[in-house]
Amino acid sequence: MASTTPCLALLFVLGIWAFQVSSRSIPEASMSDKFEQWMASYGRVYQDAFEKDKRFQIFKENVEYIESRNAGHTAKKYKLGVNEFTDLTNEEFKSMRNGYKMQRSTIVASSKTSSFRYENVTAVPSSMDWRSKGAVTNIKDQGQCGCCWAFSAVAAMEGITKLKTGNLVSLSEQELVDCDINGEDEGCSGGLMDDAFEFIISNKGLTTESSYPYQGVDGTCNKKAAANHAAQITGYEDVPSNSESALLKAVANQPVSVAIDAGGADFQNYKSGVFTGECGTSLDHGVTAVGYGEDDDGTKYWLVKNSWGTSWGEDGYIRMQRDIDAEEGLCGIAMEASYPTA
Ligand SMILES: *[C@@H]1O[C@H](CO)[C@@H](O)[C@H](O)[C@H]1NC(C)=O
């Protein structure tokens, strides 16, 4: 895949916004009450009345979108809801929150092994939740910095470190943002999990979150803070592309970094349930598959850890439909998955 687009296109969304603006009728007063309550609960302060009014209009459109989607699609397996992003347009949201560069083939991959160590795995458990095995740290929040790639790589590394050493240690995304700057990765401007693994290997490890805390902005590499390497990886492997069954074998064995198309309005406003789309396959976001299972009604899903705080989704997680007809998987989840080895 040699795409060099910065991968933020999902044009149908624009049409949806335009359509929603005029379509519903929640009284303005109750909407502004809702907005005031929302501002208070998320500690939002705007610089002036103009900005506040602009944000109110966007909030209103988002709430109307959420309510119409929830009401109009009763057959849907997921619900949308208000979260800390409800005053952002979808365009703003995508440019601030994602940051996966869809161009795996351009990486100079010196440390990657071409084998897939789980290829001969035959039996996998019917469900898996790496949280219950103590291999997943708390939900983190990348803030307004497009370094999803760092959060995804770190979560996968935290997982393999727990499996190898027995210790769950929260590791430093900021070290990647500040220090992994000589390859494809560009801090808050985007990057790739595979490139992060390359850096961690050549760097001989990564330090802890507490030694090198997250700032959410590009900074200068703090070599002193990074000096104490709390965990190491020895390599990484790509899951064969476009195979949910290969991805299943991998996730059955460890948390796995996955790239997805998270640019849609339904993804921005996802609240609960098994997400079934809408989304495309323009990979723009890096997250971590930390399990899988089956809903009460038999809908299969991937359990995915996001890095957008706990107000989004199911306390920061999303369940995404698994085993769909398209080989790419929902939102392209099976296209560019990889995991570190240790
Ligand atoms: C899978 O099995 C084949 C056939 O026995 C073997 O050649 C290959 O090395 C195995 N792969 C792994 C990753 O063990």
- Cβ of 114 closer than 6 Å to ligand 1, yes or no, is no
Residue 148 annotated as catalytic: yes
- The helix-helix angle for 28-41 and 49-72 (nearest 10°) equals 110
The pLDDT assigned to 27 comes to 65
**Residue entry with tokens 């991968």:** 7
Q: Phi first, then psi: what are they for 302, rounded to 5°?
A: -95, 140
Average pLDDT of the chain, as a whole number: 89
Could you say which of 90, 147, 306, 331 is catalytic? 306
Count Cα neighbours of 148 within 13 Å in the Cβ-side half-sphere: 28
Q: Is the CB of 113 under 6 A from ligand 1?
A: no
pLDDT of residue 8: 30
Rounded to an integer, what distance in angstroms lies between the CA atom of residue 89 and that of residue 178?
28
108: pLDDT strictly greater than 90 = no
Using the structure block, give the residue that is written with the tokens 């990074």: 226
Query: Is residue 169 predicted with pLDDT exceeding 80?
Result: yes
**Residue 65 in this model has a pLDDT that exceeds 50:** yes
What is the DSSP pairing of strand 270-275 with strand 78-80? antiparallel
Q: Give yes or no for a contact between 221 and 93, defined as CB atoms under 8 angstroms apart.
A: no
Q: Where are the beta strands (DSSP E) in the chain?
A: 78-80, 112-113, 128-129, 235-238, 256-260, 270-275, 285-294, 300-305, 317-321, 338-341
Known active-site residue 229: no
Residue 29 above 80 pLDDT?
A: no
Mean per-residue pLDDT for 250-273? Answer: 96
Q: Is the pLDDT of residue 199 over 50?
A: yes
Q: Is 145 a catalytic residue?
A: no
Q: What's 240's DSSP letter?
A: P
pTM (whole model) above 0.85: yes
| Domain range annotation of the chain | 25-75, 90-341
Tell how far the Cα of 341 is from the centroid of ligand 1, in angstroms: 18
- Report percent pLDDT > 70 for the chain: 88
SS3 310: coil
pLDDT reading at 22 higher than 50 = no
Supply the DSSP string of 27-51, one letter for each residue.
-HHHHHHHHHHHHHHTT---SSHHH
Tokens of 123: 């039996």
Catalytic residue among 147, 148, 279, 331: 148
Query: What pLDDT does residue 283 have?
Result: 93
- Structural fold of domain 90-341: Cathepsin B; Chain A (3.90.70)
Return the residue whose CA atom lies nearest to atom 8 of ligand 1. Answer: 120
Q: Is the CB of 120 under 6 A from ligand 1?
A: yes
Residue type, 329: G
Separation of alpha carbons 237 and 243, rounded Å: 15
Q: Which ligand 1 atom sits nearest the alpha carbon of residue 120?
A: 1
Q: Which of 113, 114, 119 to mutate to test the pocket of ligand 1 (most atoms within 8 A of CB)?
A: 119
Task: Give the least confident one: 20-24, 200-204, 236-240, 285-289.
Answer: 20-24
Q: Which residue has the tokens 């369940």?
A: 319
Confidence of residue 101 (pLDDT cuts 50, 70, 90): confident
Q: In a 3-state reduction of DSSP, which class is residue 187? A: helix
User: Looking at this protein, which amino acid is placed at residue 18?
Assistant: A
Whether omega before 244 lies within 30 degrees of 0, making that bond cis, reads no
Res 113 pLDDT > 90: no
Give me the pLDDT at residue 227, please. 87
